[in-house]
């Protein structure tokens, strides 16, 4: 135990007194925060510009907008006409309209939550009649479901038509800032955005895996191969320190560094998500938050175990880096496997890297019943890390490979 502590202190001192190592430890977490914050606005713009294809929109609107209700409200009529024009409707979308009484709005908002309709429009009394007479038209209330991509797109499109064709803007009621009063109400209490979440489910795992793996590439290659290259490994092994003690000391030190880096990355992810999700919150319970943190840490431990094994096999730092570098592409491909499969099943928790991506993707999209997936991911990452550590100890028992002869 004493010898393990000696190796541990030596390694930790090397890490925490080397500015380059410190930067490598904490830079991924800082980059996660900065990049994801910066990407928030871009993601929102991409999400809002994405329209469904060959969808049939179901629109319910109140029948109190005019004395003569045989003609649709101007904005819905304009939208319907645009759908009949191939130039303005290249995605071949359709719409079905239903007039409802104002007293039915709450019932249809409930249907909106159940995806039975895509948009509910509530007019103030005689809205169109007042505008036709040159009077203020009070307001329109829009209700859409942020968890439904068609619903969110429909809301964005109709609001766009109002702006592009200057419908109502001169006669609408205005707020304190002089903007037309058009109230939007996302019936999803969490403020979700289906399109934004689908983009995040693709981008987050891939970018996060890449940044976490960069931590390993920065300090693992020289953990053992560096000792070989400098000739210090042979000297260490000539001392009374056992090989197993040397391995354990190295692994513990690197694991502590990985945990510290993982905690910073976890905080960077948590604090940047509201911006990434357009102000919406990621609805995580305490247990899922802890599991998310453990997933990131155990993923780093897996990468560390792999990095140390490669470093033990390689003869030089450059050789170790040449082995670890191409693996980043493999891991990035693994990060998008859950998206390709369109699945977040619990069994994915047993596949390294894929399990991390599936977990992040499931958390981002608010999938239900994912606790088993998250648990399997944490446990399997620890098991695989243990197997990699065992493999490192086996390498240390092979003098020829260990000393690079």
Q: Please report how many Cα atoms fall inside a 13 Å half-sphere around the Cα of residue 180, on the Cβ side.
A: 17
Backbone torsion region of residue 85, taken as left when φ is above 0, otherwise alpha when ψ lies between -120 and 50, otherwise beta? beta
> Is 107 a residue whose pLDDT tops 90?
yes
R_g (Cα) of the chain, nearest Å: 29
- What are the structural domains, with CATH classification, of the chain? 2-44+194-402 (no CATH), 51-186 (3.40.190.10)
> Is 387 a residue whose pLDDT tops 90?
yes
Query: Helix, strand or coil for residue 56?
Result: strand
> What's the CA gap between 285 and 391, in Å, rounded?
37
pTM of the entire predicted model: 0.59
Residue whose pair of structure tokens reads 């977490």 in the numeric block:
29
Report yes or no: 181 and 25 within 8 Å, Cβ to Cβ: no
Q: What is the pLDDT of residues 274-333, one digit of tens each?
A: 655 444 445 556 777 788 788 888 988 899 889 889 888 888 888 888 888 888 888 888
Q: Which residues are CB-neighbours of 331 under 8 A, at least 6 positions away?
A: 209, 210, 213, 353
Backbone torsion region of residue 54, taken as left when φ is above 0, otherwise alpha when ψ lies between -120 and 50, otherwise beta? left
- 58-71: string of b/e by CB count within 10 Å (b at 16+)? bbbbbebbbeeeee
Q: What is the pLDDT of residues 201-220, one digit of tens each?
A: 667 787 788 878 887 777 77
Query: Helix, strand or coil for residue 86?
Result: coil
Nearest to 288 by CA among 345, 355, 369, 382: 369
Q: What is the pLDDT of residues 40-51, one digit of tens each?
A: 555 545 444 456
> Is 130 a residue whose pLDDT tops 70?
yes
Q: What is the pLDDT of residues 10-21, one digit of tens each?
A: 878 877 777 777
- 231-267: string of b/e by CB count within 10 Å (b at 16+)? eebeeebeeebeeebbbbbbbbbbbebbbbbbbbbbe
Q: What is the pLDDT of residues 136-192, one digit of tens each?
A: 556 778 888 877 778 878 887 777 666 554 555 444 444 444 444 445 555 444 444
Residue whose pair of structure tokens reads 């489910």 in the numeric block:
201
Compute the C-alpha angle 212/357/373, nearest 5°: 120
Q: Which residues are CB-neighbours of 233 under 8 A, at least 6 positions away?
A: 224, 227, 402, 403
> What's the CA gap between 116 and 113, in Å, rounded?
8
Helix axis angle for 194-219 and 317-335, nearest 10°, is: 170
Q: Which residues are CB-neighbours of 398 under 8 A, at least 6 positions away?
A: none
What pLDDT shows up at residue 16?
77
> What's the CA gap between 60 and 99, in Å, rounded?
6
Task: Using pLDDT thresholds of 50, 70 and 90, give the confidence band for residue 199.
Answer: low
Query: Helix, strand or coil for residue 68?
Result: coil
Higher pLDDT, 29 or 98: 98
Query: Helix, strand or coil for residue 18?
Result: coil
> What's the CA gap between 23 and 324, in Å, rounded?
20
Mean pLDDT to the nearest integer, 92-103: 92
Helix axis angle for 243-276 and 221-230, nearest 10°, is: 140
Kindly state the helix (H) or strand (E) to which residue 390 belongs, with its residue range. helix 371-396
Structure tokens at 63: 């029948």
Structure tokens at 362: 């499931």
């Amino acid at each position: 135990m004493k010898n393990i502590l000696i190796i541990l202190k030596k390694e930790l001192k090397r890490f925490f007194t080397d500015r380059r190592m410190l930067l490598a430890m904490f830079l991924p977490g800082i980059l996660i925060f900065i990049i994801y914050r910066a990407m928030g606005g871009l993601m929102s713009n991409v999400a809002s510009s994405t329209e469904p294809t060959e969808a049939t929109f179901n629109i319910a609107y109140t029948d109190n907008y005019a004395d003569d209700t045989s003609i649709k409200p101007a904005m819905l009529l304009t939208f319907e006409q645009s759908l009949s024009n191939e130039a303005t409707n290249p995605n071949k979308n359709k719409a079905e309209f239903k007039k409802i009484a104002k007293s039915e709005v709450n019932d249809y908002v409930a249907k909106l939550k159940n995806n039975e309709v895509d948009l509910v429009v509530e007019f103030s009394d005689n809205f169109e009649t007042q505008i036709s007479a040159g009077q203020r038209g009070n307001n329109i209330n829009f209700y859409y479901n942020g968890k439904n991509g068609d619903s969110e797109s429909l809301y964005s499109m109709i609001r766009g038509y109002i702006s592009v064709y200057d419908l109502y803007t001169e006669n609408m009621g205005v707020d304190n800032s002089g903007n037309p009063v058009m109230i939007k109400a996302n019936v999803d209490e969490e403020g979700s955005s289906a399109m934004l979440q689908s983009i995040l489910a693709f981008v987050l795992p891939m970018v996060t895996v890449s940044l976490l793996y960069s931590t390993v590439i920065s300090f693992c290659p020289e953990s053992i191969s560096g000792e070989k290259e400098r000739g210090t490994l042979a000297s260490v092994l000539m001392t009374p320190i056992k090989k197993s003690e040397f391995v354990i000391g190295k692994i513990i030190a690197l694991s502590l560094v990985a945990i510290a880096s993982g905690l910073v990355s976890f905080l960077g992810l948590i604090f940047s998500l509201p911006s990434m999700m357009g102000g919406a919150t990621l609805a995580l319970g305490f247990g899922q938050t802890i599991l998310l943190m453990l997933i990131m840490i155990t993923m780093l431990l897996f990468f560390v175990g792999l990095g140390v094994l490669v470093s033990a096999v390689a003869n030089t730092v450059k050789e170790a880096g040449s082995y670890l570098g191409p693996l980043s592409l493999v891991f990035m491909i693994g990060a998008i496997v859950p998206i390709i499969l369109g699945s977040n099943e619990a069994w994915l928790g047993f596949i390294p890297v894929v399990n991390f991506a599936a977990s992040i993707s499931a958390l981002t999209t608010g999938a239900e019943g994912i606790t088993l997936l998250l648990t399997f991911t944490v446990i399997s990452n620890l098991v695989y890390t243990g197997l990699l550590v065992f493999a490192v100890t086996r390498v240390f028992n092979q003098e020829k490979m260990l000393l690079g002869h």
